[in-house]
Amino acid sequence: MNVNSDLLMYSQWALILTGALAVLTVLAFILKWGFRFRLVGVTSFMGVISASIFALGLGLFTRTEIPGAVRYSLVYDTGGSQTVITVPYTIAPSELEATMQQAAIDLYSPGRGGRGTNDMTIRVRTIVHPEPNVSQPLFLGEVRRSLSKKEDDKMAIEIFPDKVAALQKYQAQKA
């Protein structure tokens, strides 16, 4: 379901209803109906509603999806330049980079403050259990992207190969 096209269709129908109400309001003034001033208010309100729905349909809800990315959870976020996400321990190395790109796109916000820096760092981790009742966080990599540009061509993705190898060893033990 494409939200933008649905909102544009709803705005079209709201505009048609607004036009019909405008014609009815003019007719009410010509025929001097008693509720003609109420129709002015209803028509004006429908005009505002039509404009609002149209404005929402112009692209408020755009979301880029990276193929091969898996679901992640946001663990820590300062609202500024530091975030940490967690991925499932079953993630494949090929899915890791796509997930990191997806997180960098999703977590961008023009309202984030860098507090002296212009870069945002997203660290990616998973939790492994080497022994019963023991949990160990395993940081698989990090992404550095610009806080000022939505489309960042200089986004730096760093995957820690030793940690990915340790994760693959852990996955092999669990299988």
Residue ranges per structural domain of the chain: 3-56, 73-174
**Whole-model pTM?**
0.65
Residue partners of 135: CB distance under 8 A and separation at least 6:
127, 128, 129
Task: Report which secondary-structure segment, H or E, holds 82.
Answer: strand 82-86
State pLDDT tens for residues 109-121. 777 765 667 788 8
b/e map 126-161, b = 16+ CB within 10 Å: bebeeeeeeeeebebbbbbbbbeeeebeebebeeee
pLDDT of 25 reads 97
